[in-house]
């Protein structure tokens, strides 16, 4: 392997050369990011025939994905929505990267890690209802290949002929971010030249809504759904459930340069830790989040002062926002980077959230702009940070960190910097 494009300690660098998203704010990276910068909300009240109508006061709802858009006509009938969202995002990312597996890269040198928090729970629930009504004949033989948590990764691999490492990580709301971090690990280890990585979740249905409502975790009592997700705000009273997918093409920088393609940003490093505290609540002292951020910084050989922006996990829960604030102060000290949470605009996409937020953070680096946190009208005094609020903040973003924390105490921090490919993306999202 050439020593060109080597990062710290002689390890290969990894560049994001493609992005695909399906989010409540749009289904193209530039549409998604422009909406974030403009302060637009993707939150609405589920109505009509939507499965969550009457069960959720507000939600981040994506456009429908017709199975025929992403699968052969005979294969899509029993495929869960989370798989369809993931495949639509993967199609977008691979096309955006201008990548053809088998022509541009050996199929055995491509990996796919596309994860989920819940998998096909809606499909399972529907099958259980049919079983109760009709017995064994009511359950389709295609249930499992349509709903298992690994099926987004598996079907993407089948569609594109990807023959290398494949996996699906199920670390709840950290799953998408962890998939991207594991992609960096594979590239550094020399096990892959390209990794298709990200997350997807589609949990806007009655059982999940009822569970979160009964746990008093969801925002409630807001007449306007767009006002309901309020990270770090003094009036926040829970998170808003969303759905979506984001997939990145992470490529060894030297491989991307050999193909003559540009990048959005480099994934410099990542950090992972575990709270070992409680199944659902974070450590109140923020130590788990501190550990993941410090590990990411150390892994990149950087100091806290090198980071200009943090895309916070920032769900809008009373405990979570305060714990993350404590961790940010402990890690960054007197140097406080700009901070915002896109969940004010998108809601919480669960297993897809970390991947969507990684895409947004990479775009912050590429385009020199940081989106505001929506509905952050009066910051909680316990959440005092350099918040981006009211309007986007423009200017160079040298390094940017994206945090994802999850039920079970899983913590992931991803650290991004400018693309080290010879060519870089233009600010409007095109290639130079």
Asked about 348 being catalytic, the answer comes back as yes
Instruction: Please check whether residue 425 lies inside any domain of the structure.
Output: no
In the prediction, which pLDDT does 262 show?
A: 94
Per-residue pLDDT at 271 exceeds 60? yes
Say how many domains are in the chain: 1
Which structure tokens are listed for 305?
A: 């002062």
Give pLDDT, residue 425.
56
User: CA angle, corner 108, sides to 107 and 109, nearest 5?
Assistant: 90
What is the model's pLDDT at position 427? 43
| CATH number, domain containing residue 91 | 3.40.47.10
Mean pLDDT of 66-90: 93
Q: Which of 313, 364, 383, 410 is catalytic?
A: 313
CA dihedral 177, 180, 182, 186 (to 10 degrees): -170
Dump pLDDT digits (tens) for 224-260: 999 999 999 999 999 999 999 999 999 999 999 999 9
Q: Is the pLDDT of residue 423 over 90?
A: no
> Residue 218: which pLDDT band, with cuts at 50, 70 and 90?
very high
Average pLDDT over residues 126-138: 94
Nearest CA to 338 out of 296, 293, 393 is that of 393
Question: By residue range, what is the domain housing residue 60?
Answer: 14-418
What percent of the chain has a predicted confidence (pLDDT) above 70? Answer: 95
Per-residue pLDDT, 12 = 81
Tally of CB atoms within 10 A around 306: 16
Predicted confidence band of residue 431 (pLDDT cuts 50, 70, 90):
very low
2, pLDDT greater than 50 = no
What is the pLDDT at residue 421? 86
In the residue annotation, 383 being an active-site residue is answered as: no
- Residue 246: what pLDDT? 98
Residue 427 placed within a domain:
no
Ranked by mean pLDDT, which of 24-28, 124-128, 419-423 comes out on top? Answer: 24-28
In this prediction, residue 74 carries a pLDDT of: 83
Catalytic residue among 62, 173, 197, 364: 173
> Which residue out of 205, 348, 387, 410 is catalytically annotated?
348
Q: Is 197 a catalytic residue?
A: no
Domain assignment present for 61? yes
Whether 149 shows a pLDDT value over 60: the answer reads yes
Tell me whether residue 8 is in a domain: no
What is the per-residue pLDDT for 430? Answer: 41
Higher-confidence residue: 73 or 213? Answer: 213
Q: What is the predicted pLDDT for the residue at 285?
A: 96
Considering the domain boundaries, does residue 387 fall inside one? yes
Give domain status of residue 3, yes or no: no
Q: What is the pLDDT of residue 176?
A: 98
Q: How big is the CA angle at 224 (ends 35 and 213), to the nearest 5 degrees?
A: 100
- Asked if pLDDT for residue 163 goes beyond 60, the answer is yes
Provide the Cα torsion 428, 98, 147, 127; round to 10°.
70
Q: Inform me whether the pLDDT recorded for 79 exceeds 60.
A: yes
pLDDT > 90: what percent of the chain?
93
Residue 76 — pLDDT band, cuts 50, 70, 90? Answer: confident
The pTM of the full predicted model, rounded to 2 decimals, is: 0.94
Mean per-residue pLDDT of the chain = 94
Q: What is the pLDDT of residue 3?
A: 46
Mean pLDDT of 421-432: 52
What mean pLDDT comes out for the span 325-340?
97
Q: Does residue 432 lie within any of the structural domains?
A: no
Which of 192, 190, 112, 209 shows the shortest CA–CA distance to 151? 112
Split at pLDDT 50, 70, 90, the class of 429 is very low
Per-residue model confidence as pLDDT tens digits over 362-407 = 999 999 999 999 999 999 999 999 999 999 999 999 999 999 999 9
**6 pLDDT tier (thresholds 50, 70, 90):** low
Mean pLDDT score, 300-325: 97
């Amino acid at each position: 392997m050439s020593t060109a494009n080597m990062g710290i300690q002689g390890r290969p660098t990894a560049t994001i050369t493609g992005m695909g998203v399906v989010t409540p704010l749009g289904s193209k990276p530039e549409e998604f990011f422009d909406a974030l910068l403009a302060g637009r909300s993707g939150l609405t009240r589920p109505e009509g025939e939507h499965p969550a109508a009457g069960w959720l006061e507000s939600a981040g709802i994506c456009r429908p994905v017709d199975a025929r858009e992403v699968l052969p006509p005979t294969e899509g009938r029993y495929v869960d929505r989370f798989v369809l969202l993931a495949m639509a995002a993967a199609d977008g990312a691979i096309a955006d990267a201008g990548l053809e597996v088998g022509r541009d890269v050996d199929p055995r040198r491509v990996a796919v890690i596309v994860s989920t928090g819940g998998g096909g729970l809606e499909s399972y629930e529907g099958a259980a209802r049919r079983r109760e009504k009709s017995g064994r004949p009511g359950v389709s033989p295609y249930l499992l290949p349509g709903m298992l948590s690994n099926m987004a990764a598996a079907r993407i691999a089948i569609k594109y002929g990807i023959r290398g490492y494949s996996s699906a990580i199920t670390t709840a709301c950290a799953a998408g971010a962890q998939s991207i971090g594991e992609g960096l690990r594979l590239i550094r280890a020399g096990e892959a030249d390209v990794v298709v990585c990200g997350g997807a979740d589609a949990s806007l249905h009655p059982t999940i809504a009822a569970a979160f409502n009964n746990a008093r975790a969801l925002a409630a009592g807001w007449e306007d759904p767009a006002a309901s997700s309020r990270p770090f705000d003094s009036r926040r009273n829970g998170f808003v459930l969303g759905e979506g997918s984001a997939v990145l093409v992470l490529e060894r920088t030297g491989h991307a340069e050999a193909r003559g393609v540009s990048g959005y940003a480099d994934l410099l490093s990542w950090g992972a830790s575990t709270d070992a505290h409680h199944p659902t609540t974070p450590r109140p002292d923020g130590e788990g989040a501190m550990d993941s951020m410090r590990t990411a910084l150390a892994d990149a050989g950087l100091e806290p002062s090198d980071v200009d922006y943090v895309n916070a996990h920032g769900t809008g829960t009373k405990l979570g926002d305060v714990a993350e604030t404590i961790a940010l102060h402990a890690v960054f000290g007197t140097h406080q980077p700009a901070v915002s949470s896109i969940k004010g605009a998108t809601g919480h996409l669960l297993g897809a959230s970390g991947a969507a937020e990684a895409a947004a953070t990479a775009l912050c680096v590429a385009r020199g702009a940081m989106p505001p946190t929506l509905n952050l009208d009066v910051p909680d005094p316990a959440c005092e940070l350099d918040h981006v609020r009211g309007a986007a903040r423009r200017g160079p973003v040298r390094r940017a960190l994206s945090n994802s924390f999850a039920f079970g105490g899983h913590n992931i921090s991803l650290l991004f910097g400018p693309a080290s490919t010879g060519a870089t993306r233009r600010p409007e999202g095109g290639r130079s």
